[in-house]
Amino acid sequence: MLKWLVRTVHTDDPRALEAALRWLYGFVRPQRSAIGLVMALSLCASLLVLAQPWLTKTLIDEGLLAKDYGTLLQTALLMIAAGLLGTLLAGVNRYLHTRLSGRILFDLRDDLYRHLQTLSPAFYGQRRIGDLMSRLDGDVAQIQRFAVDSLFSALSSLLGLVGAVALLFALSWQLALILALLVPLEVLWLSWMRRKVERRSRILRERSADLSSFLVETLPAMKFIQSVGQERREAGRLQGLGDRYLGDLLKLQLTEFVTQAVPGTLTSWSRAGAFLIGGYWVIEGQWQLGALIAFSTYLGMAVGPVQSLLGLYVAVQRMTVSLGRVMELRREQPEIRLAERRLPLPDSGGRIELQAVGFGYAGREPVLADVSLVIPAGLKVALSGPSGVGKSTLIDLLQRHYDPQQGVLLLDGVDLRQCDPAELRRRVAVVSQEIVLFRGSLADNIRYASPDADPQAVRRAAEQAQLGELIGQLPQGLDTPLGERGGQLSGGQKQRIAIARALLQQPTVLVLDEATSAVDEATEREIIAAVDRLFAGRTRILISHRLSTLADADLYLRLNRGTLSVESKSETAIEENLNG
């Protein structure tokens, strides 16, 4: 099957396609028994559909025309039974099919999402969120549609086609030769038109992506658009996008209509032809009326499957494009490599050591060059330097969003490359400039990094972060829901929520990266006093442009052009660095 697909699809890289299909098969494999069941049910359903016209034929020829009440009753009862069974089967099949298809879809998406969770900020810096969303949503769904829906529909089409053709020949092989004319004509027409339909639907998908990108881009920027008075321009853009979408939708509808109309017309002509010839035979007494009616029904039933089988080829092509886009994400490698055997971090005070550390982003000047330094446990460290010099990058290294390209970074004597990033990130809490708030209550947001914290601890952390006044103002206190992204809160309030979150996490190293820039100096003093009180004996790193924030540090570090220089008030710090 895999080999067949690889051969069917035009691709520049058959090995990549094979690897992708293997990956996909990994999700289908565990569902084999469910697939078998749905296949068996589809087979029964197809047989039931095929049986209906035959029953009609029996009813007419052997019941009505033969004036046989017994057969009439029997056939009518059989028809009722077949109808009931068909409905039942369709219901069960629909349920099982949706469950199967949903499981595969969600497994695929979970796998991709989990993979995305391992990728670095550098990856997210390069990608548009709209693009990632369309891969996670549209492309994954396209793959799943192929893996389940298209294959099942192909299977039942094949059964339907073979069954209908066999029955047509059984009814009258001479008349069935009409098919020899009808099917090739249909195949030719449909395969010619398919490409046009496909092109039109691709254009429409792009138009729809344009519309959603427009919304993703402009809705969060509404305040800015209002303040620069560009509402009309944006409304005009939306209208333009809508008009283009509608234009392309109409073109697609028209193309699809023409595509369907020709086989439809051909079928009704062949039916008329069959009625003409078959009708003549019936009048002459050479054929039976029921057989003629059943023949005409089967003729109609042979047309649909040809269309969906031809559709399979398009589905394969479409799926390959989506699979390629998904695999491109799947192949993205995490920046950090997890060690086979991970060392636990000792429960000590947060001693940080850099040994000849060098780091730079791909294709850029190095941010850190051969930096060696010791930050003894429990100190309050002020880290300063011009904007864009690499302060946040240094903190990213400390949380292992990246590993240094040269040298070693150690926390409490453990090389960070040897430790588990999740454990490290529990020990090193960072409050950065960009505050992330989620939908949920204020308390939920404070306990985001420590979901098991009890309510008293949450309240204590909130008070230590000077949130008492805000909680008093909110209608339901800590349980007040925050809107998405905390829209109603001021910058300073958001910062204090982030600080409360970090305090609750009880880290060994607390980093405040411009974390109090939006609160007034008096509040900042209180927050920092609380941090000093709570974290006495643990390492605190403060990054700020405000001199007052950095007052009373034990160690002053200045980052400039890839090097770190040390000024210190702490004897031990100076000693360690001289000896180190």
Q: How far is the CB of 123 from ligand ADP (least distance, A)?
A: 8
Shortest distance (Å) from residue 396 CB to ligand ADP: 7
Pairing of strands 428-431, 380-384: unpaired
CB of 562 to ligand ADP, least distance (A): 10
Q: What SS3 state is found at 286?
A: coil
Tokens 């006044």 map to which residue? 469
Nearer to ligand ADP, 287 or 359 (CB): 359
Non-local CB neighbours of 522 within 8 Å, separated by 6+ positions: none
**Do 541 and 395 meet the contact criterion of CB atoms below 8 Å apart?**
yes
Q: Which residues are CB-contacts of 47 (< 8 A; sequence separation ≥ 6)?
A: 159, 163
Please choose, out of 121-129, 131-139, 243-251, 571-579, the segment that lies near ligand ADP by the rule CB under 6 A.
Answer: 121-129
Q: Which is nearer to ligand ADP, 350 or 390 (CB)?
A: 390
The 366-375 sheet, strands edge to edge: 366-375, 352-360, 406-411, 414-415
- Rounded distance, CA 517 to CA 435, Å? 12
Nearer to ligand ADP, 125 or 472 (CB): 125
Among 37, 64, 238, 389, binds ligand ADP (CB under 6 A): 389
Q: Should residue 434 be labelled a site residue for ligand ADP when binding is judged by CB under 6 A?
A: no
Site for ligand ADP in 345-374 (CB under 6 A): 361, 364, 367
3-state SS, residue 47 = helix
What 3-state DSSP class applies to 496?
A: helix
Which is nearer to ligand ADP, 33 or 387 (by Cβ)?
Answer: 387
Tokens of 73: 């009753």
Closest contact distance (angstroms) between CB of 558 and ligand ADP is 11
Determine, following the binding rule CB under 6 A, whether residue 122 of this chain makes contact with ligand ADP. Answer: yes
Interface pattern 391-420 for ligand ADP (x via CB under 6 A): xxx---------------------------
**x/- track of binding to ligand ADP for residues 198-227 (CB under 6 A):** ------------------------------
Size of the site for ligand ADP (CB under 6 A): 14
**Segment lying near ligand ADP (by CB under 6 A), choices 68-76, 142-150, 343-351, 385-393:** 385-393
CB of 469 to ligand ADP, least distance (A): 31
- Quick one: tokens of 88? 């039942």
Pick between residue 380 and residue 391 the one whose CB is nearest to ligand ADP. 391
Stretch that binds ligand ADP, among 302-310, 389-397, 474-482, 545-553 (CB under 6 A): 389-397
CB 350 → ligand ADP: shortest distance, Å? 21
**Cβ atoms 541, 512 nearer than 8 A:** yes
Q: How far apart are CA 335 and CA 338, in angstroms?
A: 10
State the DSSP H helix or E strand holding residue 217, giving kind and residue range, or none if neither: helix 178-218
- Rounded to whole angstroms, what are the CA distances from 406 to 214, 371, 410, 545, 580? 43, 10, 13, 29, 18
Cα(first)–Cα(last) distance of the chain, in Å? 62
Task: Out of 388, 451, 472, 475, name the contact with ligand ADP by CB under 6 A.
Answer: 388
Phi, then psi, of 555 in degrees rounded to 5: -140, 130
Residue 199 beta carbon to ligand ADP: minimum distance, rounded to whole angstroms: 37
Could you tell me which residues come within 8 angstroms of residue 352 by beta carbon, excluding any fewer than 6 positions away? 374, 375, 398, 409, 410, 411, 509, 539
Rounded to a whole number of angstroms, the minimum distance from the CB of residue 376 to ligand ADP is 23
- Site residues for ligand ADP per CB under 6 A: 121-122, 125, 361, 364, 367, 385, 387-393
